[in-house]
Every structure is written in structure tokens, then in C-alpha cells.
Structure 1
Amino acid sequence: MNQPVTGFSKKSKAEKIEWLAKNYLQNNPESIQILRDYWNENDSIQQLHDDFIENTLSNYYLPFAVAPNFLINEKMYAIPMVTEESSVVAAASNAAKFWMERGGFKAEVISTEKNGQIHFNYFGSEKSINSFFETVKSKLRASIESIEKNMKKRGGGLLDISLVDKSHILDGFFYIHATFETLDAMGANFINSCLEQMAHTFEEEAATFEAFSKENEFPEVIMSILSNYVPECLVRAEVSCNVSELATSGFTGNQFAEKFVRAIEIAKTETRRAVTHNKGIMNGVDAVVLATGNDFRAVEAGVHAYAARNSYYSSLTHAKIEDGIFTFWIEIPLAVGTIGGLTSLHPLTKLAFEILQKPNAKELMKILAVAGLAQNFAAVRSLITTGIQKGHMKMHLMNILNQMHASKEEKQNALSHFETRAVSHNAVVQFLEKLRN
């Protein structure tokens, strides 16, 4: 029977692996060796990784790649991407080259406001809580002066606070909605620190407010936390060209454009399609978010909530044909940073920012939106022409060959063989068996 453990976090890495091997790996020397094989040979880098999270045993590597030829607002970029999905970088690169030859991508930041809430219970009169909030509002602002001092120097800080009554939905539920500008920082720690201090001040002031005469009338803070839903932190990216420039094998430009627009309309209408459609967008966005050390879970949550902002889940991208011009665009909320967190700690993250020519947060928002738009264009183009599997399975071929432990010579033969043939797992297995026999 596997044994529980106490004080696990205080054990050395070797001791943690020893306990894991004994209790869960049957002391398998190959399993232990795999953990050690993925340690970084550079001790200082390994120690840095060990310190990122608790109970580190090894490292989990993902490919770090670049997608070149992105022309964004008349400036060329090679975009770093971290992902395990085989077709993502190729698709982004192909879309980048396609649109580079047609004027490139245009991108703009619409707004950069972030937010958080102080959630509390209140069962007293509406008049009393409104009166109290107006009285305490300035004190809440004053209570975070030391926390936001440096942020204010850079032009950021708390923008506004307001009282929101949600008691008609959940009995006694109110919250203070606070908005912030965090500039080049993602700002999670800053926002949470401000909210917690304001919550403390809120409760202190409430304890002596005369209108709260009965014990059950006093507001009770439940929690204070930033929101990853940031519809006021919005970026737009688009491409456009004459319809005639979209002509491709088997399609006139007009046929391609009309079919493309129809595919987007389907993704706007049908949730089952929209989810996969938007997942494809996030293939591009997440890969760059990871490469730049930002929080892809927060970005994912906020983007998908935005896709459902109209009470149903829909496409994040839009397309139209107007006066012979095809336009394809995206608007998504992105709360990201270029300072703080892993952005200055992880060596590859620092390198990613160098490759991107050291963008600020607004520039990074534009790059991310473009990556998502490019990925979506490539996916929809495949869907309405050759089908998604042809290109995807071509990229997946190497994964299948590696699973089959193919030699270098076998890989070269397989790549040549499947250059003009459909790729499937069974077809690759049969080819290798025939080759080996």
C-alpha cells in the first residue's frame, strides 16, 4: 500500500524522488533515470526552475520555435512560440507569409483597463450601504497610497471604485468593483494587494459607522480578488485585401472569400463549431503567451468568457466582403505583462522578448492578437479547401515515426513516401513494416 508522507516539501529533490520511486514507481530505475535525464546540466538554471514551484522533481520540456515573416503595422517580426501541437507553428508561418504579401496585419489596442472586486455580504438597508460607501470611498483610495506609489509614478494605479448590488440575484450579495491601469505589468499581485488592503479598511470603517445599528447589518467581506475577465482590456487585429488576391487552386478569389465568410458565420451561430474554432485561435495565442512567460490559464479564461458575453458562445473572429474587399479581424481581451513574474526570470522568456524586439505590454497584446488571427486564418483556409487533416497529418507524421522508433534513414524514406500520399497511423505502420522486412 502506498504510504502517506509528511514534510514532503522540506525533503531534498533526491529524497522526493526516492519516496516517489518507492511508493508509486516500483523503484523502476528507468523511471528514475527519466526524471534525472531532464534536469538541466547548468546547475544555476536548474536551481531557478526548482524555485519556480514547490516539489520540483525535474523539468517538462516543450519545443521553443519561431514563426517568421509577420508584418504587423509595417514592422517585421519573428514570433516565438512554445507548443506541443505539430501543425501550429507551420500554420502560423504560412499565414504570416500569405498576408505579408498582401500588406500585412494591422493591430490596435482599444483599451487596457483591468479590474478586481471586494465581495461582501450585507443584509441591511440599501440606503445605509450606499451612504456608507460614499463616506468611505476616499478612505479606501487613501489606504493604498503606499502600495500604488511606484505604479502611480509610471502613470498607472487605481482608476475608479464603485458599489455593485447583486442582492436580487444572490441574497445579501454586494461587491466593490475596482478598475486599474497596470501598464507593462500584468498586475495580478498589485491588484490583489490593493483589494485586500481596501477590504481591511472597509471593514474597519464599517465597525464604527452609525447607520449600521444592528449586528447583522454590518457588511462582512467574503473575499477580495482580481478578475481574469477583462473586456475593457481589448485589442483588435485585422487583415484585408482585394477578393481577387484570394484565388487559390480550385477556387476563384470570390468563391474562396464567400466560403470563408460562411465558415465564420457558422462559427458565430453554432456553439459546437465555435468552441473548436476558438480553440484554434488560442493555439496561436497560447503558444506566444507561454513563450513570453505569461499566464495562459488567465488569458484562456478571459477570452472564452468574452466569447460568451452575449449569453451564448460564439466566434472570436469576424469576416466580411464589402465593395470587393475581403476583411478578416479579431477583437479579444488580453491582460498580459512584459515585466514581473517569469518575464525577467526564465532565460528563454527573456530571449523571447529579445526576439520580439522588447515590446511593451500594448505591443505584446497586438502580437498575440495577430498570432491568433493568423492561426485561425490558416485553419479555416484548410477547412474550406483541402480539409484540416491533410496538413495536420503531414506534420504529425514525425510524431508517429518517433513512436515507432524509426531510424534516421527510415524517417527520410517515410517523408519521401508520404510526400504525395495521405498520412494515417495505420499507413505509417504498414510502410515501416514493409521497409523493415
Structure 2
Amino acid sequence: MKCTMIDPILGFSKLSKQEKIDWVAERYTHDPAQTKKLLKQYWNTASKVQKLHDEFIENTITNYYLPLGIAPNFLINGKLYAIPMAIEESSVVAAASKAAKFWFDRGGFKTEVLGTEKIGQVHFMYDGDPEHLKTFFKAVKPMLIKDAKPLSINMEKRGGGIVTIELRNKTAQLKDYYQLHCTFETMDAMGANFINSCLEQFAETFKREAQQYAVFNEKEKQIEIVMSILSNYVPNCLVRAEVSCPISELTLSESVTPEEFADKMIRAVHIADVEPHRAVTHNKGIMNGIDAVVLATGNDFRAVEAGVHAYAAKEGHYKSLTHARIEHGVFKFWLEIPLALGTVGGLTTLHPLVGLALEILQNPTAKELMQIVAVAGLAQNFAAVSSLVTTGIQEGHMKMHLLNILNQLEATEQEKTTIVDHFKNHTVTYSAVVAKLDKLRSRP
């Protein structure tokens, strides 16, 4: 590798795309010519798509592809969906599809949006009488809304806008710390830019009016705005997804009875409720399904992840996001999860595959997308936990991973066909695949 202790590069973002590639390849890779060839293999030069990709972020040198798959047969509130999923993990789409088909025959998924409230905060420091601040806030609140009107008027026309502005005293947690805690309705937009713009206007008005407020002394007038930013923790932007059926219909495995299966599922969920080490992996399985749909539809999976995991810890310790119980002979499996999503703006109008994914989903509203995404997470978790409590996770996962192993071993198409057929009735392990491939290649 050619990387050495050298001076930092200045003005890298101003270089052409080719100059950036040359710089990276020649300084940080063993084979610059091969690196340049590899990067260009992933360019989309046949259309305008490449220019869009180049302008999404700074310093683009190529595209990083993920497979886009389809999980069919999702019956959600009586409507049939095929769900696009962008993910590289071998067994996720297969597991989601299997769960979708199982529940299709048992009435499908039932979902409900419980709330769509999104949150933003102006964080500030105030060293003065709390009662003076409360009085000031009451006086200035109408001005906050008035000054933000040019920003909120279009959102209001669509049925959204600023919902509440509250003053919160957080000095018990941090000296002199207060916040304007604000809620918003952003309709079909995720709304990050709208919320942040409103918050910055609130901050500007709040600070300006404080300096003119007669009740404040000179020290109290010097309110320090620390930051104005939306929160990705949205516990009131909530969706519920559920499946249920008589216990007798839980015929997933020949190794356990339906009654045993139901009991095992409930115990598995209870373990994730009380054991954080298990809960993290349990919830990761849920996010396998959720992230794949969030990514395919051009939403911010990092924001979703952060908010979901905070919600999983809302009771003081990290626990399962799914729940299970038996009522009057009926097995119920469900989750309630915060999801702030959008179907307009951002990548939805720029990325052609995002537009296609939304079209495949029949152009859902933001509320409908919340329900679809929640179902994907519930299906994925049901598939994973049901495997864990019956055959174990590796049997199905390794069969899906088999082609990845064969590609790593540079198997030919004929070798792949032979080996895949062999492992239909044998346990897949890396060493077993290597041994079978070696044996196949050693034949005269």
C-alpha cells in the first residue's frame, strides 16, 4: 500500500471525479490500475442516473450497489403487497417471504397508525429566574409561530404544520439548561428540512425578543442558543402491526406440536424482554426487515435505527420490540414501533429505483408506508424466532449463504449446480462446501 505520512490534500472536493479516483488509487491501493477499473465498472454511464448519484453526496468516486429483492404475498389489512427490500444479507428476503405466505393463509397482517407526531428542540442556556423565563415564553410564543409562518404555510395547506411549542426546564439534569420542545405534523414528507428550518427561526425570534424583554435583567437577556435540531426519537410517531391465529394452525415444524411452538415463541420473546444481550440480536432481526424497506424507499434508515433502539430502552432497560401471548386459544404476535417516514421529497423524486419501489408498493402515503415497514419487521422477527425455537437459525441461513460461499471459492456455474443440488439434503458448512468442491474438482 502506498499510503505514507504526507501532507493533507487541500481542495479535494474541487478535483474532477477522475482526479479524485487517481489520487485515491495511486496513494492508497496496491494496484492503482485495477482499482480504477473496478470503480468504473460500477458507473452507470448509459443514462442520467450517474449524474444524480454523483450529486447526492460530496467526493463521489463510484456507486456502491446492494441487491434489490422482492418479498411477495404480504396481505396487510386485506390488501396484497409485494415489498421491495434493499439488503445484502442472504436469508432476509427469503425469511420475510416465507413468513408472509404463512400468515397470508391465516388472515394476513393487521396494522394501525397510532400517531404521527414528530419532534424538534431548541436547546438553550439561561442563567436567571425560572419564573421570569416562563412569563417571557408565554408572551413570545405567538411571535414564534408568526415568524415561522412563511416556513409553515405550505405544510399547513397540506394539513400539517407546527402543532405545539413547550418550554421545558431541564436544569435538574444540566445547570442552566432549558429547551423549546416542539411537535410537528409533516404529512407525507419525512419533514427534516421543514422542522429544522422552523426550529432555527424559533431560536432567532426567541433570542431577539429576549434581548428586548423589559422584565429580564441584563444577564437574563443573554440567552445562549446552543443548537436547534429535530429529534430522531419519535415515540408518538407510532405504528402497530399484528398477526394472530388459533394455536392449532401453528403448523410450522414437524419437530414440535403447535402448542409447544406457541409456548416456545412466547418464552423466546420473554427472554428478549429480560436479557439485553438477547434483546439486541432479537431486535436486529426486526431491523433486517425494516431497514431493507426503509432503504429501498429512500428513507433514512440510520434515523429509524436510532429512534427504534431508543424506544426499545424506554422503560429503563433494553428489551424486545415484539410481543407474544395466548388469549382464548389464539396466538398473537405483534409490535409497536416508532417510524418517521416520508413518501415525498428527498430521494423519492430523485432516485429512479426509489420511485419504482414506491410504485411497486402502490404509491403509499407516509402512514401506509409506516404500516408496510412495520409488517416487514414483524415478519422478519417471526421467521427468525420460529427458526430459533425449532430447527435452529443456521440450517436455513447457511442454505441461503451457500451461493456466497461458492462465489468466494470461484466455483463455475456447473460446479454451483452440482453442489447446490447436493446440499438440498445435507447440512451446509463452509468446510463441507470446500470438501465437496475439492472432491468434485479432483475427478478425472
TM-score by length of 2: 0.97
Q: Does the alignment pair 1:259 with 2:264?
A: yes
For residue 281 of structure 1, what is the amino acid of its counterpart?
A: I
TM-aligned CA deviation for residue 120 of structure 1: 0.2
Q: Residues of 1 paired with 2:200 and 2:384: CA distance?
A: 44
Q: Residues of 1 paired with 2:281 and 2:215: CA distance?
A: 53
Q: 1:52 matched to which residue of 2?
A: 56
Deviations 1:23-65 (A, max 9, x none): 1124521111100111013241111100000000000000001
Q: Which has the higher mean CA deviation after the structures are superposed, 37-46 or 75-84?
A: 37-46
Partner secondary structure for residue 321 of structure 1? strand
Q: Residues of 2 paired with 1:364 and 1:123: CA distance?
A: 44
Q: Residues of 2 paired with 1:108 and 1:188: CA distance?
A: 24
Q: Does the alignment pair 1:434 with 2:439?
A: yes
Q: Does the alignment pair 1:210 with 2:214?
A: yes
Q: 1:142 matched to which residue of 2?
A: 146
- Candidates 234, 239, 243, aligned match of 1:239: 243
Q: Does the alignment pair 1:381 with 2:386?
A: yes
Alignment of 1:271-420 (within 5 A): 271-420=276-425
Q: Residues of 2 paired with 1:21 and 1:393: CA distance?
A: 35
Q: Residues of 2 paired with 1:427 and 1:26: CA distance?
A: 33
Contact 1:65–1:81 (CA under 8 A) maintained in structure 2:
yes
Long gaps (5+) in structure 2: none
Alignment of 1:193-208 (within 5 A): 193-208=197-212
Q: Residues of 2 paired with 1:4 and 1:223: CA distance?
A: 30
- Candidates 128, 133, 138, aligned match of 2:137: 133
Q: 2:13 matched to which residue of 1?
A: 9
Contact 2:289–2:377 (CA under 8 A) maintained in structure 1:
yes
Partner secondary structure for residue 336 of structure 1? coil
Between the aligned residues of both structures, percent identity stands at 61
Partner secondary structure for residue 151 of structure 2? coil
TM-aligned CA deviation for residue 3 of structure 1: 4.6
Contact 1:3–1:23 (CA under 8 A) maintained in structure 2:
no
Q: Residues of 2 paired with 1:390 and 1:27: CA distance?
A: 39
Contact 1:212–1:218 (CA under 8 A) maintained in structure 2:
no
Q: Residues of 1 paired with 2:124 and 2:111: CA distance?
A: 39
Deviations 1:139-193 (A, max 9, x none): 0010110001110001100001000001011000000000000000000000000
Q: 1:152 matched to which residue of 2?
A: 156
Partner secondary structure for residue 179 of structure 1? strand
Partner secondary structure for residue 150 of structure 2? coil
Q: Residues of 2 paired with 1:27 and 1:381: CA distance?
A: 47
Contact 1:161–1:179 (CA under 8 A) maintained in structure 2:
yes
For residue 117 of structure 2, what is the amino acid of its counterpart?
A: E
TM-aligned CA deviation for residue 4 of structure 1: 2.2
Q: Does the alignment pair 1:96 with 2:111?
A: no
Q: 1:105 matched to which residue of 2?
A: 109
1:411/1:27 Cα in 2 relative to 1: closer, same or farther (>3 Å)?
closer
Contact 1:281–1:376 (CA under 8 A) maintained in structure 2:
yes
Q: Residues of 2 paired with 1:386 and 1:159: CA distance?
A: 50
Contact 2:236–2:338 (CA under 8 A) maintained in structure 1:
yes
Contact 1:242–1:325 (CA under 8 A) maintained in structure 2:
yes
Contact 2:77–2:109 (CA under 8 A) maintained in structure 1:
yes
Contact 2:348–2:354 (CA under 8 A) maintained in structure 1:
yes
Alignment of 1:170-185 (within 5 A): 170-185=174-189
Contact 1:123–1:217 (CA under 8 A) maintained in structure 2:
no
Q: Which has the higher mean CA deviation after the structures are superposed, 247-256 or 92-101?
A: 247-256
Point out 4+ residue stretches in structure 1 off by more than 4 angstroms. none
Deviations 1:105-161 (A, max 9, x none): 000100000010000001100111101101100000101100011100011000010
- Candidates 61, 66, 87, aligned match of 2:70: 66
Partner secondary structure for residue 48 of structure 2? helix
For residue 122 of structure 2, what is the amino acid of its counterpart?
A: I
Long gaps (5+) in structure 1: none
Q: Which has the higher mean CA deviation after the structures are superposed, 425-434 or 371-380?
A: 425-434
TM-aligned CA deviation for residue 210 of structure 1: 1.4
